[in-house]
Amino acid sequence: MADEQEVIIRPIAGRPSFAPDYGLDQANEVKLLEWEWVIEKMTLSHNYWIGSTRPDGKPHAMPVWGLWLEDAFYFATGRSSRKGRNLLQNPEVVVHLESGDEVVIFEGRVEEFTDPALFERFAEAYGQKYNGFKPTYDPANLYLKLIPRVAFGWLEKDFVNSATRWQLA
């Protein structure tokens, strides 16, 4: 759970910049979400959506397994997969949860990690999260860490009051 993790990133929460007709500027009682809420959602989620860009500029979205580890989001994909090739060419990415009711969205870039000690921590945590499916290092795969610039979160049932934006870089 989030309270068991050391929180390293402490971004400042604020309101997102949405069009005036979204009603955010008319909210009576703003209840910005806490960063710990984001960590909890990222930690507990099973599937995540990755949005990348094809070489011709067209979008590409695919679900992945991943995990929140050491205050960052990590995942893997095949180097020859469409998303792997996209991310090798253009590391800009959107990562979000499956839920439209409890929303967490990150925008940023990914970096490949190759450090054996980090990979072992990743593999161990991955195996614990995904019922013993512990990856072994394979050079045919990309092991990626999200370097976020901005994050968004909200509760659909209270969007007008809960919509929150965190600046990370």
Chain segment 12-34, per-residue pLDDT in tens: 887 787 766 766 655 556 788 99
47 inside domain:
no
87 inside domain:
yes
Q: Is 48 in contact with 106 (CB distance < 8 Å)? A: no
50 inside domain:
no
State the chain's mean pLDDT as an integer: 90
pLDDT in tens, 70-85: 989 999 999 999 999 9
What's the pLDDT score for residue 2? 40
3 inside domain:
no
- CATH assignment of the domain containing 134: 2.30.110.10
Which range marks the domain in which residue 163 is found?
Answer: 72-169
The total of structural domains in the chain comes to 1
